[in-house]
């Protein structure tokens, strides 16, 4: 697949093919991480996080490709690895081949937001299965409320909509509680 | 809809770009004036982002879990990431429980367990949709072996609670090799061994990161995708409960031998729900024993015929005996799934439910 094909696959919701293609880069990234003091677990974890950031970035309609997509992916991975090493009070020079040096801004990485999202991930484990399902179908799968109402057997589209916002309200409330605790 | 909900809808439309340019501009000036609204918008935006991230992570894990051979350790994860403090507390909790389990007799042990259950259940009622409360209650009535397991689960749960606030849930698939039961015969000695190795494991987690450990969970031969396909093909919704309008959740425990054979299958149907998805009362639950057994048989059978599995491996990469806990959810409203719980994470390699359509 070419870079443009990957990008259009991601944008049109055919993420799986794109992810499979990008996953072929894992061995190289793994080697890079392992050679600078990381282990398999960290390598895999960082790689998955990099994929998420890449997909988020690419999904942004304003995204313009300025380098090879894989180079960009390596750049994100390098950034995350450095960030992780810094947390462990180590700061080695990472010399990776074919890698962009990217800043947090360029990647769209914001430590404060990441922390908040960790809380929200926890919150999402606390709402009901039905809420989770509505969120996932609507925001991730981009299904219409009509389809969702049918699929989840709501009596009407309106009651599905109301349920969705009730779920949202609940989640935001839980998030507030959680943030107070931490 | 209530006005609060309408506000959320309005924000939703703004975030998804469904408002016209004029409307959006008006909304933005409103936001500039109202800090509360502004922070609500930010919160909602992040929540949506998190929903998408979670779903995306599940897709990535599915892709990673595909070629079990090629991607190797894909689907499991040691939490090297664990903040040392959390580990230390984890070790502490485990040691206390191990100590209690080893030194006190049954009478002393039980009150300890009950106390903790109450505490957890209370929390669960407010926060968690999972039926952990019932699940624990059920386990309590079991044989001594079960109780020992239960304490372990408590420890794991404590551990999870401790780590939860600090890190990303995807990282929490702690690798607890201690749970690879050393003997097929689950006697007390085996349980003791198990706990000791569990404690050891906690200590190991603090080792430096460049240690490449090769131990991994037992997996369905061919990985998660194959597992889902197999369940999709083989699992049927049983007639009797279907006619009665019952949904049920079954917990299935089994051992995977070093040869990949499934043994010691045990199952408990611990939740029944009616057609509206509401939990049956205790009395009704008790009187539907037949449906429960049918669900249990179905769930057990599917695992029995699914062998051989890819056995778990120890740190040297040699196949060893291990335990697996799965939940099979028969859902009349079309949301049947198989999944594993974080509480059982010591045996799990996947925490995303796999939804299956049952005929």
Q: Of the candidates A19, A176, A58, which has an alpha carbon nearest to the alpha carbon of residue B55?
A: A19
Q: Is the pLDDT of residue B179 over 50?
A: no
Q: What is the domain partition of chain A in residue ranges?
A: 3-109, 113-181
- A contacts of B165 (beta carbons < 8 Å): 122, 181-182
- pLDDT band at residue B204 under the 50/70/90 scheme: very low
**Residue A38 DSSP class:** -
Dihedral over alpha carbons B114, B89, B157, B61 (to 10 degrees): 180
Topology of the domain covering A113-181: Arc Repressor Mutant, subunit A (1.10.10)
Tokens of B250: 């079954």
Mean pLDDT, chain B, whole residue set: 66
Task: Tell me whether residues A168 and B57 touch, CB distance under 8 A.
Answer: no
Out of A19-28, B83-92, B140-149, B319-328, least confident range: B140-149
Write down the pLDDT at residue A93: 67
Q: Of the candidates B252, B261, B265, which has an alpha carbon nearest to the alpha carbon of residue B295?
A: B252
Write down the pLDDT at residue A132: 92
User: Rounded to a whole number, what is the distance in Å from the CA of B74 to chain A's nearest CA?
Assistant: 7
Q: Is the pLDDT of residue B123 over 50?
A: no
Asked if B167 contacts A118 with a C-beta cutoff of 8 angstroms, the reply is yes
Q: Is the pLDDT of residue B175 over 50?
A: no
Write down the pLDDT at residue B344: 57
Task: Tell me whether residues A168 and B44 touch, CB distance under 8 A.
Answer: yes
On whether any CB of chain B is under 8 Å from the CB of A55, the answer is: yes
B85: buried, middle or exposed (CB in 10 Å: 19+, 13-18, 0-12)?
Answer: exposed
> Which of A20, A31, A39, A56 has the highest number of chain B CBs within 10 A, making it the mutation to test binding with B?
A39
- pLDDT band at residue B342 under the 50/70/90 scheme: low
Q: ∠ CA B101-B105-B111 to the nearest 5 degrees? A: 75
B41-89 pLDDT, tens per residue? 999 999 999 999 999 998 898 888 754 333 333 333 333 344 444 444 5
Task: Tell me whether residues A129 and B335 touch, CB distance under 8 A.
Answer: yes
Of residues B65 and A15, more confidently modeled: A15
- pLDDT band at residue B92 under the 50/70/90 scheme: low
Of residues B130 and B297, more confidently modeled: B297
On whether any CB of chain B is under 8 Å from the CB of A124, the answer is: yes
- pLDDT band at residue A169 under the 50/70/90 scheme: very high
Q: Of the candidates B87, B46, B45, B82, which has an alpha carbon nearest to the alpha carbon of residue B168?
A: B82
A residues 1-20 lying closer than 8 A (beta carbon) to B:
15-16, 19-20
- Contact residues for B298 (Cβ-Cβ < 8 A; gap 6+): B235, B236, B238, B250, B328, B330
B residues 46-65 lying closer than 8 A (beta carbon) to A:
46-57, 59-64
First CA to last CA distance, chain A: 45
Q: What is the domain partition of chain B in residue ranges?
A: 3-54, 84-204, 215-355
Provide the β-strand partners of residue B342.
Answer: none
Q: Is the pLDDT of residue B208 over 70?
A: no
Tokens of A125: 């484990």
On whether any CB of chain A is under 8 Å from the CB of B69, the answer is: no
User: Rounded to a whole number, what is the distance in Å from the CA of B272 to chain A's nearest CA?
Assistant: 16
Task: Tell me whether residues A120 and B73 touch, CB distance under 8 A.
Answer: no
Q: Is the pLDDT of residue B242 over 70?
A: yes
A29-71 pLDDT, tens per residue? 888 888 888 888 889 999 999 999 999 999 888 888 888 899 8
Among A15, A34, A125, select the one facing B169 at the smallest CB separation.
A125
- pLDDT band at residue A22 under the 50/70/90 scheme: very high
Q: Is the pLDDT of residue A88 over 90?
A: no
Among A19, A40, A124, select the one facing B54 at the smallest CB separation.
A124
pTM assigned to the model: 0.47
- B contacts of A19 (beta carbons < 8 Å): 59-60, 63
User: Rounded to a whole number, what is the distance in Å from the CA of A90 to chain B's nearest CA?
Assistant: 13
DSSP structure string for B294-356: HHHHHHHHHHHTTPPPBPEE-TTS-EE-EEEEEEEEE-TTS--EEE--GGGGGG-S--S-EE-
Three-state SS string over A43-84 comes to HHHHHHHHHHHHHHHHHCCCCCCCCCHHHHHHHHHHHHHHHH
d(CA B99, CA B199): 11
Q: Is the pLDDT of residue B341 over 70?
A: yes
């Amino acid at each position: 697949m070419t870079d443009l094909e990957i990008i259009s696959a991601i944008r049109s919701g055919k993420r799986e093919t794109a992810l499979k293609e990008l996953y072929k880069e894992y061995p190289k990234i793994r080697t890079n991480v392992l050679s600078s003091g990381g282990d398999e677990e960290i390598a895999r974890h960082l790689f998955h996080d990099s994929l998420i950031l890449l997909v988020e970035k690419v999904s942004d309609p304003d995204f313009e490709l300025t380098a090879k997509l894989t180079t960009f992916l390596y750049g994100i991975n390098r950034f995350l690895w450095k960030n992780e090493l810094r947390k462990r009070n180590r700061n080695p020079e990472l010399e990776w081949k074919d890698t962009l040096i990217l800043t947090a801004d360029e990647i769209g990485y914001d430590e404060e937001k990441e922390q908040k999202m960790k809380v929200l991930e926890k919150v999402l484990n606390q709402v009901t299965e039905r809420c989770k399902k509505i969120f996932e179908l609507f925001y991730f799968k981009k299904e219409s409320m009509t389809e969702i109402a049918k699929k989840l057997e709501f009596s009407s589209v309106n009651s599905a909509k109301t349920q969705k916002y009730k779920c949202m309200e609940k989640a935001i409330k839980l998030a507030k509680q959680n943030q107070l605790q931490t | 809809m209530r006005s609060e909900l309408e506000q959320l809808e309005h924000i939703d439309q703004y975030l998804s770009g469904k408002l016209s340019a004029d409307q959006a501009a008006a909304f933005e000036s409103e936001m500039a004036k109202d800090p509360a609204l502004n922070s609500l918008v930010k919160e909602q935006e992040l929540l949506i982002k998190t929903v998408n991230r979670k779903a995306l992570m599940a897709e990535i894990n599915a892709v990673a879990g595909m070629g079990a051979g090629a991607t190797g350790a894909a689907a499991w994860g040691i939490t090297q990431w664990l903040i040392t403090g959390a580990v230390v507390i984890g070790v502490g909790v485990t040691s206390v429980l191990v100590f209690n389990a080893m030194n006190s007799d049954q009478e002393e042990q039980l009150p300890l367990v009950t106390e903790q259950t109450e505490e957890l259940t209370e929390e669960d009622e407010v926060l968690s949709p999972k039926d952990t409360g019932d699940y624990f209650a059920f386990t309590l009535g079991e044989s001594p072996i079960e109780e020992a397991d239960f304490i372990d689960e408590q420890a794991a749960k404590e551990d999870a609670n401790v780590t939860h606030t600090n890190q990303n849930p995807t990282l929490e698939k702690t690798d607890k090799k201690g749970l690879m039961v050393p003997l097929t015969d689950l006697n007390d000695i085996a349980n003791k061994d198990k706990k000791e190795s569990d404690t050891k494991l906690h200590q190991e987690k603090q080792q430096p990161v460049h240690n490449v450990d090769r131990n991994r969970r037992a997996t369905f031969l061919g990985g998660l995708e194959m597992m889902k396909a197999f369940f999709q093909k083989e699992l049927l919704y049983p007639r009797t409960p279907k006619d009665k309008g019952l949904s049920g959740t079954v917990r299935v425990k089994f051992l995977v031998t070093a040869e990949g054979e499934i043994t010691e299958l045990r199952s408990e149907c611990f939740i029944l729900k009616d057609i509206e998805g509401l939990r049956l009362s205790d009395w009704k639950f008790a009187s539907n024993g037949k449906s429960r057994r049918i669900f249990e048989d179905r769930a057990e059978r599917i695992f029995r015929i699914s062998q051989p599995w890819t056995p778990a491996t120890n740190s040297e990469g040699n196949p060893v005996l291990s335990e697996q806990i799965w939940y099979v959810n028969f859902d009349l409203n079309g949301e049947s799934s198989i999944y594993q719980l974080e509480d059982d994470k010591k045996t799990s390699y996947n925490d995303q439910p796999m939804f299956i359509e049952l005929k």
